[in-house]
Chain A
């Protein structure tokens, strides 16, 4: 059974450009969360989606947006890229909405998309 898959694995963009990152959750998982990890820090929460609806948003500017599709896959979009957006972007899936039960709460992460902004 495939785990959480993310694409692309690496990408390089220049300031001002836009980027779209993609995530496919584990089969049967309905929740997708996005995290940003800058070098030397722990991951920081960006969004959670459950059943195609945004359930939570972290402290990120409106340049960051996301959506979840009927097949539960998800995209993260970042507009007007800044140098500070360079990071590892991690997608995690879980059975259900976090907090809805012990089984639903376990996050499984993908390998990440490493974004470099020049």
Chain B
């Protein structure tokens, strides 16, 4: 099956700093989503972005499908940004499921 690798596994920032999270995947995809999981376990959909670039406030994402990677940018980080960020992909040949990476644990200190 498709492999999803996220980096870095852990990231510690001071409030106000910027960061870039990366997601590499091993096969062509027709579905890619970024999620934020808060400390209580709730998964929040941030972006549906199988290709191209999107922005939502301080967050933006870019997927280069031909090179099999996606990036999530967080600018001017806040303590409420803390949590685990997951990249999840749906492979073109098995589009009924999403395969998640192991996530990036982000800690933003005041």
**Which one of B30, B45, B96, B103 has the highest number of Cβ atoms from chain A below 10 Å of its Cβ?**
B96
Q: Are A98 and B42 touching (Cβ within 8 A)?
A: no
Partner of A111, one of B42, B95, B101, B102: B42
Partner of A99, one of B35, B90, B102: B90
How many angstroms between the C-alpha atoms of A112 and B86 in the bound complex?
A: 16
Q: Are B97 and A109 touching (Cβ within 8 A)?
A: no
Residues of B within 8 A of A109 (CB): 35, 42-45
**Size bin of chain A's contact surface:** 20 to 34
Give the A-binding residues of B (Cβ under 8 A): 4, 30-31, 33, 35, 40-45, 48, 50, 86, 88, 90, 94-103
Q: A48-B96, A102-B50, A109-B45 are in contact. List 12 more A-B contacts (CB 8 A).
A: A37-B41, A43-B43, A56-B96, A56-B97, A90-B43, A99-B95, A99-B96, A105-B33, A109-B35, A109-B44, A111-B40, A112-B41
